Structure 1
Amino acid sequence: MAPFARNRLLWGTVSCTFFLAVNSLYSSSDDVIELTPTNFNREVIQSDSLWLIEFYAPWCGHCQRLTPEWKKAATALKGVVKMGAVDADKHQSLGGQYGVKGFPTIKIFGANKNKAEDYQGGRTSEAIVDGALSALRSLVKDRLSGRGGGYSSGKQSGQDSGGSGRKDVIDLTDDTFDKNVLNSDDVWLVEFYAPWCGHCKNLEPEWASAASEVKEQTKGKVKLAAVDATVNQALASRYGIRWISYHQDLPESEKTLVDYDGGRTRVDIVVVALICFQRMHPPPELLEIISEGCL
């Protein structure tokens, strides 16, 4: 019996060593943030960002196949939506807290971080990105209507009623554009309009309302402006009299103009503005944690 018992002990040791070698599907070099009971509350619950979080087990074949897609989606959404991963086999208490019964389970943590939603979309990187942007749009709509969390919603009634007017839209001219926009560290969304244009008149209240909302949510770091293209013809000619989103988060030699192709409602404009704002702030540096005992 002794040799048999010794063989069983040796096999148990080899099995344990192999398990540790595949203990994590992600590393600090990925754009996926690894979450544990130690940092989950700080990173997710106390965050104003939208999170997509995968609860996985390292030995799960479905999880292993999802990993490269999850990484690709995280890279594509970097600075826009946070992507996390929890080893729910190792941190069973965290998985149990959110009702994880199988792997992989994907949860969306939106406005109400204490009530996560199940992700029901596909498992390709494209489907994950689409699902994330759809959730982001819903989050912004909730905030605009005063139902969302994270940002102040007590000032929405004035904007909804049109009481804010154009007070937060910055009027730009041939003489002031370069000084205000090109020499700024902020992000600018600039409308080129004609006073007689019907489409411009329809947009004006949406643009004004979005300007107030964006100013509050980004603390003035994203600005909405307007240029009368019939008066400031030199400036309009320079940019082809088009809707543009000016990204000022690049070095002087790399400043670029990007055509705005989004919708013309307040919600559409705010979503684009928030995406631009989040891209200005790179995600925090990830520290590689060797063990939970190091914290």
Structure 2
Amino acid sequence: MGVRGTGGLWWGTVSCTLFLAVNGLYSASDDVIELTPTNFNKEVIQSESLWLVEFYAPWCGHCQRLTPEWKKAATALKGVVKVGAVDADKHQSLGGQYGVRGFPTIKIFGANKNKAEDYQGGRTSEAIVDAALSALRSLVKDRLSGRSGGYSSGRQSRESGGGDKKDVIELTDDSFDKNVINSDDVWMVEFYAPWCGHCKNLEPEWAAAATEVKEQTKGKVKLAAVDATVNQMLANRYGIRGFPPIK
């Protein structure tokens, strides 16, 4: 009976392992969004967000090694860039639609969702995050220049007169550390002088960028401004000598 019990335990362990392998590499508790033919179009193609999507097979050793790095990247990019995964062994039609021939295949769905870019970078969370942020910068710059738009409501606001100045957060010597230094969000801060012509020219562009980035990242990346002629402590701390530097 003891041997049979041990065998049953061994088989139960193997069965559990096989069950987990067959049912994918990600769970609902991960920040990686599971994508299928049912939700792909709504979640990715019709989305305003930038997406990184891994096409994987549960039995693939390279995919298994990538999994912890992909999860780390998804957590780091949460609220900024969407990170998803498709079990392309199970959903072969979706893999075929995007020309997936090997595993893992990673694609970036940016401004033109119908023309995804292949990711050819490193397989570490750091490399993946760097590529995502680089793609996000390109996407925002394209939208500011009017070269792309997609489904963004921000596109409509720019066409009707630019961004909202209220989306640019005014910072002072007293509020800077609390808002920026002690924050988990990403901040871009313009140091300006009210009399500076370059600063005045930048103002509508900065407002448009603030609105676009706010919508794209769901508020996780913030644009701000500091009047460096009034808040001289901050100006000295960051070595401001001319206008308008952006940090």
**Same fold at TM > 0.5:** yes
- Do the aligned partners of 2:77 and 2:129 also contact (CA within 8 Å) in 1? yes
Taking the TM superposition and a 5 Å limit, the aligned residue runs for 1:276-287 are none
How many Å apart are 1:155 and its aligned residue? 7.1
**Aligned equivalents of 1:127 and 1:22: distance in 2?**
26
The 1:242–1:116 alpha-carbon spacing in structure 2 relative to 1, beyond 3 Å, is farther
Question: Among residues 207, 213, 221, which one is paired with 1:211 in the alignment?
Answer: 207
Q: Give the residue type in structure 2 aligned to 1:150.
A: Y
| Structure 1: 4+ residue segments shifted above 2 A | 15-21, 149-159, 166-174, 187-196, 200-204, 212-219, 221-227, 239-244
Could you say what the CA RMSD is over the residues aligned between the two structures, in angstroms?
A: 3.9
Structure 1 residues without counterparts, runs of 5 or longer: 1-14, 245-263, 273-295
Report the counterpart of residue 107 of structure 1 in structure 2: 107
How far off is 1:192 after superposition? Answer: 5.0
Gaps of 5+ in 2: 1-13, 180-185, 239-243
Amino acid aligned to 1:129? V
Pairing of 1:1-295 with structure 2 (within 5 A): 19-23=18-22, 24-148=24-148, 149-151=150-152, 153=155, 168=165, 191=190, 193-195=192-194, 200-215=196-211, 218=214, 227=227, 229-230=228-229, 232=230, 236=231, 240-241=234-235
Aligned pairs, how many? 212
The structural deviation recorded for 1:242 is 6.7
Aligned amino acid, residue 83 of structure 2: M
Q: Secondary structure at the match of 2:234?
A: coil
Is residue 170–residue 224 contact of structure 2 (8 Å, CA) maintained in 1?
no
Q: Distance in 2 between matches of 1:74 and 1:204?
A: 38
- Between the aligned partners of 2:50 and 2:76, the Cα distance in structure 1 is 15
Please tell me the residue identity of whatever aligns with 1:82: K
Counterpart code for 1:86: V
Kept in 2: contact 1:52–1:83 (CA 8 A)? yes
CA 1:158–1:106 in 2, change beyond 3 Å: closer, same or farther? Answer: same
Q: Distance in 2 between matches of 1:191 and 1:43?
A: 34
**Structure 2 length as normaliser, TM-score?**
0.69
Rg: which structure is higher? 1
What percentage of aligned pairs have identical amino acids? Answer: 63
Q: Distance in 1 between matches of 2:108 and 2:169?
A: 39
